[in-house]
Amino acid sequence: MRMSILPFAILTCATACSWSDVKIAPAPSATASGTPSTPSAGDKVIDHTVKTIDGETVSLSSYRGKTLLIVNTASACGLTPQYEQLEQLQQKYAGRGFTVLGFPCNDFGGQEPGTADEIKTFCSSKYAVSFPLFEKVRALGDKSPLYRTLTEEIDPTLRGEIKWNFTKFLVDSNGHVVARFEPLVKPLDPQLTAQIEKLLPQ
């Protein structure tokens, strides 16, 4: 029954919320030596320790040097088919130092109710997901530390509460969040891929 009303719920929220917003952090200003300055707050994103969907503890600092797209995902959402394009991004850019990081979240409409094994099986069987998946996070209320940073501690132009599943944060190779893409911005949207291209070696 809940699934049957999802399209209406998505349309309503898309109208009420800025679900198609794209936010880009301002270019860093130059220091006295002429080199760009970078906000120290950005480093906090990859300083977090998280658990993979298999329960292994990893530090996001192990991804330093890579361009990352951090996404809060869900398996029973009208936007769940975005998994397909996320995997296409992974396949297209992985060889150039890019990876998607998927963080399942049940905070929005209870649309990620499954266990870690169920989520992993769903993503593998339905969308052949090869990018890293992690344990469920809280993005609202008592937030997981990573999502507290993403919503409260990064560049002020990119902060703010998560509106729904599949909000995307683009992180450069130094660990700074440089862009935010709201749920209706598809992973292969030219605005998103253009920002990825800017960060990757040519």
In the structure, what pLDDT confidence band is assigned to residue 3 with cuts at 50, 70 and 90?
very low
Mean pLDDT of 32-42: 45
| Domain parsing of the chain, residue ranges | 36-199
In the structure, what pLDDT confidence band is assigned to residue 42 with cuts at 50, 70 and 90?
low
- Is the pLDDT higher at 10 or at 113? 113
Q: Are 20 and 185 in contact (CB under 8 A)?
A: yes
Q: What's the confidence (pLDDT) of residue 25?
A: 87
Q: Are 134 and 53 in contact (CB under 8 A)?
A: yes
Q: Which residues are catalytic?
A: 77
Mean pLDDT of 149-154: 95
Strands (E), 6-112: 22-24, 49-51, 57-59, 67-73, 98-104
In the structure, what pLDDT confidence band is assigned to residue 130 with cuts at 50, 70 and 90?
very high
Strands (E), 3-53: 22-24, 49-51
Mean pLDDT of 42-47: 81
Q: What's the confidence (pLDDT) of residue 36?
A: 43
Task: Tell me the fold of 36-199.
Answer: Glutaredoxin (3.40.30)
Match 């794209």 to its residue by tokens: 22
Dist CA 66 CA 172 (whole Å): 7
Q: Which residues are within 8 A (CB) of 163 and not within 5 positions of it... i.e. 6 or more apart?
A: 13, 17, 18, 19, 182, 183
CB atoms near residue 148 (< 10 Å): 15
Q: pLDDT tens, 159-202?
A: 999 999 999 999 999 999 999 999 999 999 999 999 999 999 88
Strands (E), the chain: 22-24, 49-51, 57-59, 67-73, 98-104, 168-171, 177-181
* Portion of the chain with pLDDT greater than 70, in percent: 83
Q: pLDDT tens, 52-70?
A: 999 999 999 999 999 999 9
Mean pLDDT of 90-116: 97
Q: What's the confidence (pLDDT) of residue 190?
A: 97
